[in-house]
Every structure is written in C-alpha cells, then in structure tokens.
Structure 1
Amino acid sequence: MSSAPDAPAGGADSSVSNPSQLFKSCWGCRIVSGGGLILSAAYVFNAARKVMRQGGPTSMGTVAQVTFAAGLAAWGLVIIADPVGKSHRKT
C-alpha cells in the first residue's frame, strides 16, 4: 500500500487561499458585515421599544427581542474588532 504524494507548496492551487482568512484580512468586509449586524440590532431593538413605549406590560417576547438585539450588536462588534485575529500575530 503506497500513500499518495503530498501536493507541492507552490503549486497551481497556491493562489486560492482560505475564504475565512480572506474575510479576516479584509477591513472593508468586516466593516460592512459588522455594520449590517449592528444596524439590524438597532432595527430589532426599535421594534421592541415601540411596543414598550405604548405603555403595556412587558412580555417575554419583548424581552427576547431586546436580548436578541443585544446579541446581534455584540456579534457585529466582535466581527469589526476581530479580537482573535489580533491575538495571534503572524510574522
């Protein structure tokens, strides 16, 4: 039983890089996607706030909307800040 030889490091496929690596290195991509998540969080929060402003009792659905909006905003900030990518500096 013989094993297949490994692909050369500088072969034809070297121009294709990992898509997740492209996303992490593209500042504009992170701003657009993180900003979109933050804006969607603002939209969800305003929908919940509109219900609360009417003066009725706060339901579990409204609390869930506010919690979901906070999660979306946090996710957007994490994408923009990229704390994991900054902690592993490649030299």
Structure 2
Amino acid sequence: MSTAPAGGAAVPENKPGQMLKDCWSCRVISGGGLILSGAYVFNAARKVMRQGGPTSMGTVTQIMFAAGLAAWGLVILADPVGKAQRKT
C-alpha cells in the first residue's frame, strides 16, 4: 500500500521489520557497533588473563559472550535471510 501526500507523489510504506534490511548504513552502524562491543568485552576478559589471574567460569563466559556479540554483528552485516528472500 502507498499513501499519497498533498504533492500527489506516492510514498511507499515501510514495514517495521524491513527497516534494517533496506538501510545499508543502518546495518553497517549496528553490525559494526556489535562487533566493536564484542572486541571490547573480549579485551576486558583478556586483560584479567594477562595479569596472571586465574581463568574462572566468569572469564570463559565473558569470552563466549564477546564471541556471540561479534557473531551477531556479522550476521547483521551479511544479512543471509534477506539475500535468500530477494532471489525469489
């Protein structure tokens, strides 16, 4: 559906879920932010290990969380679901 403003030109309506799929700069900013967040969390965990502290379950969990953040950022950048839908 489209709406016609006072000028007469039709403006397509965006669905709420499609906003991130259509906007490349939004995907770069959010994906890059998640990757950088993952790097920050990973470096915080590595700092404890470099100082000679014991590797605890908290440190391992922190590293796994950092890997999850970075993977989530890569998925947003790659957009594998959106590419599969565009081919059809």
Fold shared by both chains (TM-score > 0.5): yes
Task: Return 5+ residue gaps in structure 2 as ranges.
Answer: 5-10
Taking every aligned residue pair, what percent have the same amino acid on both sides? 73
Q: Which has the larger radius of gyration?
A: 1
Q: How many pairs were matched up? A: 82
Supply the distance in 1 between the matched residues of 2:82 and 2:39 (Cα, whole angstroms).
26
In structure 1, the residue matched to 2:73 is 76
Matches of 2:41 and 2:52, distance apart in 1: 18
Alignment of 1:44 with 2:38, yes or no, is no
Structure 1 residue 16 displacement after superposition: 2.8
Higher strand content, 1 or 2: 2
RMSD: 1.7
Structure 1 unpaired stretches of 5+: 1-8
Misfit runs of 4+, over 6 Å = none
Which of 54-63 and 71-80 deviates more? 54-63
Distance (Å, rounded) in 2 between the aligned partners of 1:21 and 1:11: 18
- Scaled by the length of structure 2, what TM-score is found? 0.83
Deviation string, structure 1 residues 23-77 (Cα, Å, up to 9, x no partner): 1011000000000000000110000000000112200000000000000000000
What is the CA–CA distance in structure 1 between the aligned matches of 2:53 and 2:70, rounded to whole Å? 26
**2:86 aligned counterpart, secondary structure:** coil
User: In the TM superposition, what is the alpha-carbon distance from 1:15 to its structure 2 partner?
Assistant: 3.6
1-structure distance, mates of 2:2, 2:59: 55
